[in-house]
Structure 1
Amino acid sequence: MKWLFSAYKTTERFLNSQQYHQTRSSSLYYSRFYSSSRILNASESSNRLSDSSTKVDLEIISRETIKPSSPTPRHLRTFNLSILDQFMVDVYVPFAFFIPNTNNDSVSDVVNKRSKHLKETLSEILTRFYPFAGEVKDNLQIECNDQGIYYTEARVNQTLQDFLRHPDDEKVRGLLPENPNTTTSSIGNYIIRTQVNIFKCGGIGLLTSTSHKIIDGHTNYMLMKAWAAAAQGSPETISPSFVGAEIFPNNMSLEYSLPSKILATKTLSTKRFVFDSNSLALLKAQPVASASSARPPSRMEATTSIIWKAAAQAATKVRQFGPQSPHVLLSMVDLRKRASPPLPEESIGNLVIAAGTICFPGCQLDLPTLMGQQRESIAKINDIHIESMKGEKGHETFNEILRASNQLMDLTAEGDCLVATSLLNSGAYELDFGWGKPIWVYLMNHGIVRRVALNETLTGGGVEAIVTLSPDEMEIFECNPELLSYATVDPSPLRFVH
């Protein structure tokens, strides 16, 4: 997962303050390519997901390892992680693209031609993204040994249209590679696992599970963009820039780690809440209580804030909250464009940090205040703050940030903290492997207790918010009348296909 507190000095002032009773939110800055390839025999390819809880009828038809088309040079065999990679939670992040068979090719052609082409072009781009074919050695390094990417093909016994009529989170997870699960350590494992799910209609569900030790959301998108360009035969070449460890070198003596409270130890509940353009217009018509800017709220600010408000209110129904009990919002911020000079768009690695802000759900909450506090916390992730994180001089900054984040989590009951991430305006729906763009792009949770992930809707300018809470909180959250006046719960992605 992708988060870090900024401006730890403000956090320290809050922690020392006795003014917990205030009703406003308080900001806290805080050989070619096939290896071990085989087609499974009939007994082996039994329905991997046949139990009643998974709801997906599929069979694995092959498991392979895709290696770079040319070996990684010896002088590149050791890849240093940045300090942001170093303390990033060691989990796998699942991602899904659903692509229809717009050319009406036969299923046999999809299996024999498209899938083969995907493997060939993936092998080609791995020569540029060579660390992804390696093995995480520890929190400081990747051994670029060309072990490759684990690649699975599966046949799904239904059409893509049928699947997308009611695609709940559990159902989509049934299309992921069987191992690792999201909370498995990447050390000693493949950095990326991919499963190509071929539906009866020839549509494809392309699902990846990537190690967060080196791959953040933007990095994953760059990889997919490069893969799609290669599959299309496009002259456009994406050359990854590995500047992270140079700018933010790792630290063997890092004193603190991320708080464990943000990671799930119990069952979670995930649902989708879709805001159409009309609802967004109503939300964005509200003022933002921010001294730094008078502009209207963005889609991210508007949707995140109403979800945060409803999540905080749900928490008060299942746990005791007093006027001094905080509920935290961590908004993930990409550093690439905020640094001075900006980092290359093709920068690879975890180049994100979290902007933190607090509300007190035991008191009255209003959207203008919540939107304003989120905006102000994000604004403090500026070039000056990023500069303080650079080089070896930034090691102490990171230690203080991590120390403050642990202190803050100690103040929250059961880690009452909502982590917000966004792929709005990322271009994910523009990816085209040569047979059409995806009709649904889905961001799955990778084990964060409370999380909201934002993405576009395919058409109409809407926002899809994938929200994860504990089951008892979700039961209350999904019935919140204010939230439901703007959002629709779990609509079919097909409603956005024209």
Structure 2
Amino acid sequence: MKTEGEIISREHIKPSSPTPLEQRTYKLSLLDQIVPPIYVPLVLYYPNLENTPKDPDFISQTTQILRQSLSATLTRFYPLAGRIKDKLSIDCNDEGVPFVVTKFNTRLSDFLKNPDSQVCRGHIPSPLTWAEPGPGSNVALIQVNFFDCGGIAVGSLFLHKVADGVTIGTFMKAWAAAARGSVETVSPDYAAQSFFPQNETMKRESHLFSAMRQYFKFGKTVMRRYVFDALAISALRAKLSSTEGLKQRPSKVEVVSALLWKCFIIASNKSSNNHPTTSLVTHGVNMRRKAEPPFPEHSFGNFVWLVPASSTNDHTDADLENLFSKVRNTISTVDVEFVKRMQGESGFLGYCKNLEESWKGFPENADYLAISSWCNFGLYSIDFGLGRPIWISKCDAGSEVDWPFINVLWLMDTRQGGGIEAWLTLDEHYIEAFDKIQELRDLASVDPSPLDTYSAAPVVPK
């Protein structure tokens, strides 16, 4: 399938009202500082499955609605329309968000029959790269893709230093509401800068995410999507019902993380005679919900902490119950006191203490799987007046060239609710063993078409 469309227009969308002078410099918070300077992709797909005839001016009319609603929304999310000033701040100069409109002479439904992640990357406004953006670089970029059938894909890139997954979701939902003409508006809370003041003297090696670098290894990768429906989640929960000390029902994120970690260990053991004897996973924890009182979900910026869990690679330590307990226990270390310790003028000292405690969980040598969950962010409720998206992509894909970050698991809700779509980018040497694990094949569909489970039924939050 053609991966590049015809560019119809390219412009910068500026906030509909100028940003006040006192808000022109947006300082990153302490929690923003520790996040890697990479761009996060997201694509929402809206097919025209009913083949409803479109007005000849459909593209121009829809583009105008999206353009005007984006401009209005950027007035409240003004850092996204700015440019990187330096490593610690954003110049909120209202230069605007790059906005590209593209036309594909193909049917979106044909792409969705067998989605190719490399093709997905043609639906975002810039190639993905590990290169660090410098001063003057964009904070957010948008590409709206139109297809012959009347389907639409809305692609975006966001600078992770400025926005985590929750903030990205909040912005996209606010933009979509404005496009629908909704009178309800969401105004982001910018209090993170005050609660977690930045530290100008912090060196990069003191960043939380720097701990991962010691586990990086270059290699070629293969990507698989595993879709667990609500019945599969229930089956996994049943397997864990006898877990000692279980007081709270396992979440779907916990059970899928534990299962895929177990499979990762099996694949690691079978793939090489020289594999590490220890396996490590990290989980990103949303600290908004861990504070007391909780920070609002529309709090702008990064509120993520990385927690590690490790296991020896033998069968006694790497069973499902044990791995589930390790995942749950490490997530529980981020509690009210943990978050409070990093707040205020002495917050950097608290950060250093938290960092020291977290680093104790990183073994010297381990096979590493990084887990990130965007579940329960409400992304399938993003409706620009086109209905709910049928599918959401993060554009993760395998690589035929050596890549530095090779074992990555991203978890996302299913459109129907109650399930999980797991995107696993894996060392090519592991994939053969992974594909043979019967327990995984019994519970999950592998690389299914989003059209297979299309339903107009409402999303059921779990």
Q: TM-score, normalised by structure 2?
A: 0.89
Partner of 2:10: 63
**Which runs of 5 or more structure 1 residues have no equivalent in the other structure?**
1-53
CA distance in 1, matches of 2:381, 2:450: 16
Report matched runs for 1:4-403 at 5 Å: 55-101=2-48, 104-106=52-54, 108-179=56-127, 181-188=128-135, 189-255=137-203, 256-257=206-207, 258-259=210-211, 260-261=213-214, 265-287=218-240, 293-320=246-273, 325-364=277-316, 365-402=318-355
Cα pair 2:281 2:309 within 8 Å, conserved: yes
Aligned to 2:427: 470
State the secondary structure of the residue aligned to 2:61.
Answer: helix
Q: In structure 2, how many angstroms separate the alpha carbons of the residues matched to 1:152 and 1:173? A: 14
Task: Report the Cα offset of residue 410 of structure 1.
Answer: 6.7
1:165 Cα shift? 0.4
What residue in structure 2 maps to residue 423 of structure 1?
Answer: 374
1:382-429 CA deviation, whole Å, 9 max, x = no partner?
A: 10111112123231333355466667657124xx22222222222211
The percentage of aligned residue pairs carrying the same residue is 36
- Alignment-mate amino acid for residue 493 of structure 1: P
SS in 2 for 1:396: helix
- Given that 1:289 and 1:371 are in contact with CA atoms closer than 8 Å, whether structure 2 keeps it comes out as no
For these two proteins, the number of residue pairs brought into alignment is 441
Distance 1:230 1:386, change over 3 A: same
Tell whether 2:439 aligns with 1:482.
Answer: yes
Matched AA of 2:423: I
Please tell me whether residue 450 in structure 1 is matched to residue 407 in structure 2.
yes
The answer (yes or no) to whether the contact 2:99–2:142 under 8 Å persists in 1 is yes
Kept in 1: contact 2:39–2:160 (CA 8 A): yes
Consecutive unaligned residues of structure 2, counting only runs of 5 or more, are 398-403, 456-462
**SS in structure 2 at match of 1:152:** strand
Partners in 2 of 1:450 and 1:228 — Cα distance?
A: 33
| Distance change in 2, residues 1:427/1:269 (3 Å) | same
Q: Deviations over 1:185-232 (max 9, x none)?
A: 233311111111111111101111110011100000000011011001
Please say if residues 196 and 344 of structure 2, whose CA atoms lie closer than 8 Å, have aligned partners that are also in contact. Answer: yes
Deviation at 1:264, TM superposition (A): 7.2
**1:390–1:460 Cα change, 3 Å:** closer
The aligned residue for residue 364 of structure 2 is 411
* Contact 2:118–2:395, Cα closer than 8 Å, also in 1: no
TM-score computed with the length of structure 1 as normaliser:
0.83
Q: Name the CA distance, whole Å, in 2 between partners of 1:297 and 1:404.
A: 25
Give the secondary-structure state (helix, strand or coil) at the position aligned to 1:118: helix
Using the alignment, how far apart are the partners of 1:108 and 1:276 within structure 2?
Answer: 39
Q: Distance in 2 between matches of 1:56 and 1:378?
A: 39
Deviations 1:445-479 (A, max 9, x none): 49843221212222263221111122222333233
| AA matched with 2:250 | P
Distance of aligned partners of 1:290 and 1:397 in 2 relative to their CA distance in 1, 3 Å threshold:
farther
**CA shift in 2, pair 1:264/1:400, >3 Å:** farther
Aligned alpha-carbon RMSD (Å)? 2.4
Instruction: Tell me whether 420-429 or 376-385 shows the greater mean CA deviation.
Output: 420-429
Partner SS state of residue 469, structure 1? strand
User: Match of 2:266, as an amino acid?
Assistant: Q
